[in-house]
Amino acid sequence: MTKGKYITYKNSGVSWLSDIPEHWEIRRIKYVFKELDKRSEAGKEDLLSVSQYTGVTKRSDKVAEGDSISNAKTLEGYKIVEKGDLVINIMLAWNGSLGISKYNGIVSPAYCVYRNLVGNEKYFGYLFKTKNAQQEFKKQSTGIIDSRLRMYTDSFFDIKTALPPKQEQTNIANFLDYKTEKINRFIKKKKQLIKLLNEQKAAIINQAVTKGIDINVPMKDSGVEWLGEIPEHWEVRKLKYIANCFPSNVDKHSNEDEKEVRLCNYTDVYKNDFITNDMKLMIATAKDDQIEKFALKKGDVIITKDSETADDIANPALVIEDLENVICGYHLSIMRPYSKLKGEYLLRALQCKPINVQFELCSNGVTRVGLGVADMKKAEIPIPPIEEQDKISQYIKGEIGTINKTIFTIQKEITLVEEYKTALIAEAVTGKIDVRDFKLPQEETPLAMVAEEAVHYNK
């Protein structure tokens, strides 16, 4: 895409907009939108919700069958929304929780509903989702901390906004509709590809950990229903007989009477297969007895012992080298293998869904599920001879290595394209690029061109 610019610009006098095309106006939002406060009499309309990620959506589309759409006893008195209205969550306007509604429906009385007076509502939907607009909303919100911020209508109406001619607003909205729809399809396909690659990885790990890598080896019944047959020379052991398992109690606080440590936290384990010395870990403090007990050692496997959902529990990571002053943090448990178990094989076993599901089934909780030590130790693991564990680990590493490289490349591509999308929207709605002559292409250009556009956009 050729990036044309307007011929002349002027200083908008508005810090979050900077220079704008000379013929554009600046107006306070109170002259661009009016607030609506029409209430539902029966509460039977579609309930809508607002998210920074998806904008305005139907609540029913997100609710599982059998669940309640709302915790409220009645939806009477909820605010009525019509297609094209701007809906803002006043508590989260600063992080982009707003959008132009595609639906007729109702929203919580805590939200604000506005109708555009002088142009194309889609244009303002894009403009108000930019980072600069969000920063302005944050500045105009009242409250001490982010979770307490509120942007009330008077403050919203007092903000100055860009106002291009109406036809230009429409041109910009049409251009961005086309470009973002194409970018979103590209990202969706790439994420689907990552999902398939992760499924391929899982299949490789599951097969190697439960059946071995020698397809000709004699098999036997494992005696465990969910595991089925295993190689004849393997055994199945409870975790308590092959590893020392214990949870950490080291929190993130720093106290003057304690020693400084590097803390391996929940996200360090959740997002990584391997814990290494060069990772940027949090600095905290711990007592001498905590340092002695929870200092991580090469070969340790760390798992997340709680999560928001049961199917996301016991994610493992392996310490692959000697660490300098690194302590296991709270919400994690250490599994320290005994002599007949290798850490890397245990890592792969815990990444095996049929094995990991044991932790899911015995976890418990309401708002957050947890895994107790006793239940952790009861998990059953298929155990090959020690030499075979090494061979299986090396096989898995080799087989999934290429897949991981491919996933990493795709993730970088997605990040690049998302940054391109953000920049494209910001530049179009503030007049940094001129799209007045944009016309929908007669022929659909290949999705693969999206990544190429992203690479060349800022050159």
Q: Give the domain CATH number at 343.
A: 3.90.220.20
Select from 349, 383, 417 the last residue of a domain.
Answer: 383
The answer to whether position 189 is within a domain reads no
Examine the domain organization and report whether 41 and 150 are in the same domain.
Answer: yes
Half-sphere exposure of 198 (CA within 13 A, CB side): 12
- Res 61: pLDDT: 57
**54 lies in which domain range?**
28-163
Q: Assign 213 to helix, strand or coil.
A: coil
The residues, any chain, with a CB within 8 Å of residue 197's CB and separated by 6 or more, are 403, 406, 407, 410
Indicate the burial class of 413 (C-beta count within 10 angstroms; 0-12, 13-18, 19 or more): middle
Examine the domain organization and report whether 240 and 361 are in the same domain.
Answer: yes
- Reply yes or no on whether the pLDDT at 3 is more than 70: no
Q: Assign 206 to helix, strand or coil.
A: helix
Q: What is the pTM of this model?
A: 0.82
Over the chain, what is the mean pLDDT? 92
- Res 64: pLDDT: 44
Select from 383, 400, 421 the last residue of a domain.
Answer: 383
Number of domains in the chain: 2
Task: DSSP for 294-309, please give it.
Answer: HB--TT-EEEE-EESS
- Res 68: pLDDT: 44
Distances (CA, A) of 425 to 50, 366, 397: 20, 41, 41
Select from 163, 183, 213 the last residue of a domain.
Answer: 163
257-297: pLDDT as tens digits: 999 999 999 999 999 999 999 999 999 999 999 999 999 99
The answer to whether position 454 is within a domain reads no
Examine the domain organization and report whether 241 and 157 are in the same domain.
Answer: no
Amino acid at residue number 279: M
Which range scores top for mean pLDDT: 62-76, 133-147, 323-337, 367-381?
323-337
Distances (CA, A) of 64 to 59, 68, 228, 370: 10, 8, 33, 23
Amino acid at residue number 253: H
Predicted confidence band of residue 225 (pLDDT cuts 50, 70, 90):
confident
Torsion of Cα atoms, 163 then 167 then 173 then 179, to 10°:
-130
